[in-house]
Structure 1
Amino acid sequence: MIAQGEYILLKAEGGREYFTSVRDEKLHTDLGIVDLKNIEGLEWGAIVYSHLGKEFKVLKPRTPDFFKHIKRTGAPMMPKDIGTIISYTGVCPDDTILDAGTGSGVLAIYLGTIAKKVITYEANEHFVNVARKNVDKAGLKNIEVRHGNIVEEIKSLEGPFDVVTLDMQEAAKVVHDAKRVLMNGGFLATYSPFFEQTSEIRAAVEREGFNDIITVLINEHELEFGERGTRPSTRVGHTGFLTFARK
């Protein structure tokens, strides 16, 4: 049953979605007013109605819903790139992960739904506060958001970590210590939107003697369905380059 304070996703006609929580308040929408306190005690998937008689289906939010609806501090890493990181590094339930460049916490939240523990660093204090609130909304107690510059902070970390992920401008400067805190067989994964930064990262992992080094660009095309046929969308949205290396 749905409890007081739980976050919920209300799905309505026309693809409308409302990300909110169960509380003693009313949600005002263009489809009418929904009394949120009446949702407490219902089962997931229940149908509730606005004062205009419009239907809303009550769903339990999953990670993609948090990606769409939580507060952002900038352009987050996209699901296609996050999925590639998870698959290439083999993130599993026993893993302890070090993440840097938290941003709004999107990658940390995805990782936290799988791994045992995620420690994530962010140098911008405002971003830290946003990420902590987002992690709290996701209900994940295994994510620790720390305020600090990983370039310096990693020098005092011991590890071992199963995976280290870096989404930050100075990632190349962290590679040496990232290898030190990784367990043998652990993976380093870096993300960068620029060729120049990616080249610096690639040179750094090669210099440090990492194994199984690979740099990839993942393109995603949604299929378009029309009367004349079906084809991939011509829209190309560049995100970034991923580099993987194994200790």
Structure 2
Amino acid sequence: MTQPLHSRPPRVLSRGEKVQLTDPKGRMHTFVLAPGEHFHTNKGLISHDDIIGRTEGIIVANTGGVDFQVFRPRYEDFVLSMPRGAAVVYPKDSGLIVTLGDIFPGATVVEAGVGSGALSMALLRAVGATGSVHSFELREEFATIAAGNIADFFDGEPENWSVTVGDLADTLPQTFGPGSVDRVVLDMLTPWNTLEAVSEALTPGGIVIAYVATVPQLSRFVEALRASGKFAEPESMEAMVRGWHVDGLAVRPDHRMIAHTGFLILARRMADGISPLEKKKRPQGATAAAEDVAAWTEPEVTEAAIGTRTAHGKKLRRVMRDAGRRLRTEPDGSADAQPTDVTDSPTSNSTGPKEDR
């Protein structure tokens, strides 16, 4: 019998690894394996020892006789179930960022707006051990959450990842010299405010990718790229993913889909002193009036303006009153006003404005 050219024994599940159990209804449960421990379900227990030392793709039963499939969690499973301080970039969008942004092994990548770390994980996988990802985040609490999620995902903090708390426009020139960055990914409210620093750091041929939530942000960033004269004609797109129900001849689209989460804009850095080619256009019948342009571009971009839920009116006053009551009821009378984490549900839109929050 001819021996196969490539073969290896299957990887077994070991202590300290994350596993994902799926019940007959499709509900998923993720936990870390530890000898002697048990996973508790509402209908019985599952011993970790029944899983350790075995391969993926097995079926284990709890003490109540309910069967569970056992696999290692995928990237998507981890991202949509991990703790989050800010909305995450959905896997459908991070996949486009990695592929269309040409994130290659060995690349030096700058990310602005680390959020909860979902996109950072995809970027780190793409650059490999020879590349590096440096993240910038305005809010220290988000940077802390992201660091914990990334360490959990990679079973330790990657040596080729670092995070700086601060504004990208101010800190990027202090961190990277001119032309030393291959890719820049912007996930923030006002990416156009960073273009001077980004264009300085990017190498000729490098790519800037922005992830924004609304049409005004999309339009304003694209026009800022064109006005800078340092980037080739930008590309703009969005991704929508629709699953399908397949059961014999009963084949139809799922009733729910992951539709709009954000827009992606990509542009390549021109060489210094070289102007980009102007895109040829058909003559336009009318041009926008100055007041129309001002109404479109001048209002301040805020979380509320792009649809992020914020307390206002009576609800805001009630929240302020409740917060004051809690402070007044402190035993020692002190005002311990620690910030609280805000967790987005997995079904909420990933808006991208993290660095500017």
Paired residue total? 247
1:40 aligns with 2:62: no
Give the superposition deviation at 1:236: 7.0
Task: Quote the Cα distance in structure 2 between the aligned partners of 1:8 and 1:224.
Answer: 26
Once the two structures are superposed, what CA deviation does each residue of 1:87-112 show, in whole Å capped at 9, x if it has no partner?
21111212121111111111111111
Do the aligned residues in 1 keep the contact of 2:134 with 2:163 (CA within 8 Å)? yes
- SS of the residue 2:171 aligns to: helix
Task: Quote the Cα distance in structure 2 between the aligned partners of 1:110 and 1:33.
Answer: 34
Task: Quote the Cα distance in structure 2 between the aligned partners of 1:66 and 1:102.
Answer: 16
Q: Which of the pair has more CA radius of gyration?
A: 2
Once the two structures are superposed, what CA deviation does each residue of 1:191-239 show, in whole Å capped at 9, x if it has no partner?
1112222222112211222014112222333335688863575767321
Do the aligned residues in 2 keep the contact of 1:157 with 1:181 (CA within 8 Å)? no
- Opposite residue 41 of structure 1, the aligned amino acid is G
Task: Quote the Cα distance in structure 2 between the aligned partners of 1:101 and 1:75.
Answer: 11
Task: Quote the Cα distance in structure 2 between the aligned partners of 1:183 and 1:237.
Answer: 34
Counterpart of 1:168 in structure 2 is 188
Summarize the alignment of residues 22-61 of structure 1 with structure 2, pairs less than 5 Å apart.
22-24=33-35, 25-61=37-73
Counterpart of 1:239 in structure 2 is 261
Identity %: 27
Pick 1 or 2: higher relative contact order, CA cutoff 8 A, min separation 6.
2
Do the aligned residues in 2 keep the contact of 1:7 with 1:137 (CA within 8 Å)? no
Do the aligned residues in 2 keep the contact of 1:224 with 1:232 (CA within 8 Å)? yes
- Structure 2 gaps of 5+ residues are 1-11, 270-357
1:217 aligns with 2:272: no
Counterpart of 1:119 in structure 2 is 134
Higher strand share: 1
Task: Quote the Cα distance in structure 1 between the aligned partners of 2:215 and 2:243.
Answer: 25
Identify if the C-alpha distance between structure 1 residues 145 and 47 changes in structure 2 by more than 3 Å, giving closer, same or farther: farther
Task: Quote the Cα distance in structure 2 between the aligned partners of 1:201 and 1:149.
Answer: 18
- SS of the residue 1:3 aligns to: coil
Compare 47-56 and 106-115 and name the one that shifted more: 47-56
What is the TM-score normalised by the length of structure 2? 0.63
What is the TM-score normalised by the length of structure 1? 0.89
Identify if the C-alpha distance between structure 1 residues 224 and 103 changes in structure 2 by more than 3 Å, giving closer, same or farther: same
1:194 aligns with 2:214: yes
Do the aligned residues in 1 keep the contact of 2:98 with 2:126 (CA within 8 Å)? no
1:13 aligns with 2:28: no
Task: Quote the Cα distance in structure 1 between the aligned partners of 2:256 and 2:33.
Answer: 41
Identify if the C-alpha distance between structure 1 residues 235 and 109 changes in structure 2 by more than 3 Å, giving closer, same or farther: closer
- SS of the residue 2:15 aligns to: coil
Question: What is the CA RMSD across the aligned residues, in angstroms?
Answer: 2.3
Counterpart of 2:252 in structure 1 is 230
Task: Quote the Cα distance in structure 1 between the aligned partners of 2:73 and 2:267.
Answer: 33
Task: Quote the Cα distance in structure 2 between the aligned partners of 1:37 and 1:129.
Answer: 33
Compare 26-35 and 179-188 and name the one that shifted more: 26-35
